[in-house]
A and B are shown apart, each in its own frame.
Chain A
């Protein structure tokens, strides 16, 4: 079943599968690290809102590009700008209007999606929104790989330099503030990293499934970790495994890679959760 996959992977004249596999491995680094922060801080809803708002930026950039001919305004640029703007807006709202946070996040989520669909509808030529909603790892270019590698390196560097501060902001914000940590700066930094990682996720698994690949591997790793860096490493390894296995399973059967990857991720999470719950119940009885 996998012969065709491995043959194409080894074929020097057929780079698509190789690029997809490399993209999965490269993207696993920011997915695993940023996903750990998202899960630990319980901000999956914020990450999901950013992911959906990205469609607004993608749609707007396609529409403006078609009208003005600005080649630099590609969907990726639109997605990055919208993701960063929504992250900043959500961060500001969550700091200043706590009681309305979920409502505002929902509004950003809905406005992003609907404006994106409207822009795409009014853009000349046929554009399939499904490409953005469910992604396709097999159409990533070498340029996309470089961008993924640069983002991954940036995330790793940020996490090494500010490891202590980010950990304190995630775990005990009040104490971090008392110790002179500028918690707002680190909160926005984290949201910025979430925004950029979400843009990558959108190219790999699409808008709808992005949140699953960001949070579920980290949630699985959380069961087996004593320290947050162990959770990050576990999550990165799981992301590598899930993206490559998803690709290997979907390629010979001609199924959408994003959907297969997420189905695999979801099943693994449910299995591990169940196993953990049974184990916990057993140890409580003892």
Chain B
């Protein structure tokens, strides 16, 4: 009996993308396997956001192919739970936290009202993120940290197989960060997690593979990340700041 090769979680093959003439990403190829957690790091303008948009199918590369769980991004978008870095919203818009989390069920449900299954999925996701007591609150009446957890709950409500998070610790304070890492470790047991982060401490503690993006891509195992690798990626001298308040003395690149 011949066993079929297992599909990679994310596969970029000779992908080039440009908004104008100059390519933002040039001839990049890498693979992340199912079950791995990976982190995309790189300097501003290096192509991190573009890579996210390509994974989500919002952009189409000029050349090369992208496969997410063996399918084109357009057809795998529902399997990806996306958590944006900046969520700009109209504070006067009447939207409760429950209704917001239910939006994560779009694409998984039919026309008309949300079904009982949709509500159960949303409530489960809210419970998982410990925001179930905020269900009737307006989105404008919750704090930045709570909003971050609500955004993740919305992504989880769609029963994703990949959780894609853009700078997940950007609105989380030091005290919350430890709890946040524990939460992600727990979620990693259920799904693959792909993050975009500038936070080196986050990289070392959470992920197995690191995708260093600066127009091109270099894929590292977490253990093989060195100071030289970061200097090469960011193109200059880097200073390491030890954050004593974080357990384990995590360091950030500045």
Instruction: Give chain A's interface residues, CB within 8 Å of chain B.
Output: 40, 42, 160-165, 167-168, 170-172, 174-181, 222, 225-228, 230-231
Q: Which residues of A contact B100 (CB under 8 A)?
A: 171
The answer to the question of B238 belonging to the interface, with a C-beta cut-off of 8 Å to chain A, is: no
Alpha-carbon gap, A114 to B102, bound state (A)? 47
How close is A192's CB to chain B, nearest CB, in angstroms? 18
Q: Which residues of A contact B99 (CB under 8 A)?
A: 167, 227
How close is B162's CB to chain A, nearest CB, in angstroms? 13
Alpha-carbon gap, A89 to B114, bound state (A)? 33
Interface string of B61-96 (1 = CB under 8 A from A): 000000000000000011010101001011011111
Q: Which of B30-38, B104-112, B211-219, B242-250 contacts A (4 or more CB under 8 A)?
A: B104-112
Known A174-B84, A177-B58, A178-B77; contact A164-B93, beta-carbon cutoff 8 A: no
Nearest residue (CB) in A for B106 is A179
Q: What are 25 A-B pairs with beta-carbon distances under 8 A?
A: A161-B111, A161-B112, A164-B109, A165-B106, A167-B99, A167-B103, A168-B106, A171-B89, A172-B87, A172-B89, A175-B84, A176-B103, A176-B106, A177-B58, A178-B56, A178-B80, A179-B78, A179-B104, A179-B107, A180-B107, A226-B96, A226-B136, A227-B95, A227-B99, A228-B95
Alpha-carbon gap, A81 to B58, bound state (A)? 34
* B106 lies within 8 A of A40 (CB): no
Interface string of B125-138 (1 = CB under 8 A from A): 00000000000101
Known A40-B90, A225-B94; contact A180-B106, beta-carbon cutoff 8 A: yes
**How many residue pairs, one in A and one in B, have C-beta atoms under 8 Å apart?**
75
Alpha-carbon gap, A248 to B3, bound state (A)? 80
Interface of B is mostly: loop
How close is B109's CB to chain A, nearest CB, in angstroms? 8
In residues 129-160 of chain B, which contact A (Cβ within 8 Å)? 136, 138, 154, 158
* B158 lies within 8 A of A179 (CB): yes
Residue of B90, B100, B103, B112 ringed by the most chain A CB atoms within 10 A: B103
Nearest residue (CB) in B for A161 is B111
Nearest residue (CB) in B for A165 is B106
The 3 closest A-B pairs by CB, nearest first: A179-B106, A225-B94, A179-B107
Alpha-carbon gap, A172 to B93, bound state (A)? 11
The answer to the question of B113 belonging to the interface, with a C-beta cut-off of 8 Å to chain A, is: yes
Known A178-B77, A178-B82, A180-B78; contact A227-B107, beta-carbon cutoff 8 A: no
* A168 lies within 8 A of B94 (CB): no
Alpha-carbon gap, A160 to B57, bound state (A)? 29
Alpha-carbon gap, A168 to B93, bound state (A)? 12
Q: Count B-side interface residues using an 8 Å CB cutoff.
A: 32
Alpha-carbon gap, A228 to B154, bound state (A)? 18
Nearest residue (CB) in B for A176 is B106
Q: Which residues of B contact A230 (CB under 8 A)?
A: 94
Nearest residue (CB) in A for B94 is A225
Nearest residue (CB) in B for A174 is B84
Residue of A165, A174, A175 ringed by the most chain B CB atoms within 10 A: A175
Q: Which residues of A contact B104 (CB under 8 A)?
A: 179
Alpha-carbon gap, A217 to B2, bound state (A)? 67
* B58 lies within 8 A of A222 (CB): no
Interface string of B154-182 (1 = CB under 8 A from A): 10001000000000000000000000000
Alpha-carbon gap, A172 to B139, bound state (A)? 13
9 additional A-B pairs beyond A179-B104, A222-B92, beta carbons within 8 Å, are A40-B90, A161-B112, A167-B103, A171-B100, A174-B84, A178-B77, A178-B82, A227-B95, A230-B94
